[in-house]
Amino acid sequence: MLDIYIKTFNELSINELYDLLQLRSEVFVVEQNCVYQDIDGKDKKSLHVIGKSNNKVVAYTRIFKPGDYFNESSIGRVVVDKNERHLSYGSLIMEASITAIDNKFNSSHIKISAQVYLESFYNKLGFKSIGKTYLEDGIPHIEMERY
């Protein structure tokens, strides 16, 4: 069971902020062996989509209204705890994020910067690749859009 919460930066508790930053660090920095600036100043302007199981943060995204990241609405920092990936939490947190963008921003056009190895995962959620692959923080990425 995944409980979904959508919060502004100011609505996050200190423990939630710590837990989501810890999850992002565990996956993006340690697991993917990528040194990059995770705390990039964008958390304060995004909405945080938090997935909890047994009161533990196990899935997360941050979403942006049009113009705050790309010209289109956007989803970023998509992450699922390594031990929970077999439970389809990635699809659940993405579906919740897509719905939140529609409900909160009245937008259905979404652009993402996806890690290339997850391209088929995003295709199943209605995203289509645009442009060529590029390196972001040393990891191959591709821009994708969903209408």
Which CATH number do you get for residue 98? Answer: 3.40.630.30
Give the mean pLDDT of 69-89: 97
Output the average pLDDT for the chain.
97
Q: What pLDDT score was predicted for residue 103?
A: 97
Q: Specify if 118 maps to a domain.
A: no
CA distance 122 to 62: 16
Q: Specify if 94 maps to a domain.
A: yes
Q: What pLDDT score was predicted for residue 44?
A: 97
Q: What pLDDT score was predicted for residue 113?
A: 97
Domain count, the chain: 1
Please give the residue range of the domain that contains residue 87. Answer: 3-107
Contact predicate 93/56, CB 8 Å = no
Burial class (CB in 10 A: 0-12, 13-18, 19+), 107: middle
Q: What pLDDT score was predicted for residue 133?
A: 97
Q: What pLDDT score was predicted for residue 56?
A: 97
Q: Is the pTM of this model over 0.85?
A: yes
Q: Specify if 128 maps to a domain.
A: no
Q: Specify if 87 maps to a domain.
A: yes
Q: Specify if 39 maps to a domain.
A: yes
pLDDT band at 124 (very low <50, low <70, confident <90, very high): very high
Each residue's pLDDT tens digit, 8-60: 999 999 999 999 999 999 999 999 999 999 999 999 999 999 999 999 999 99
Q: What pLDDT score was predicted for residue 24?
A: 98
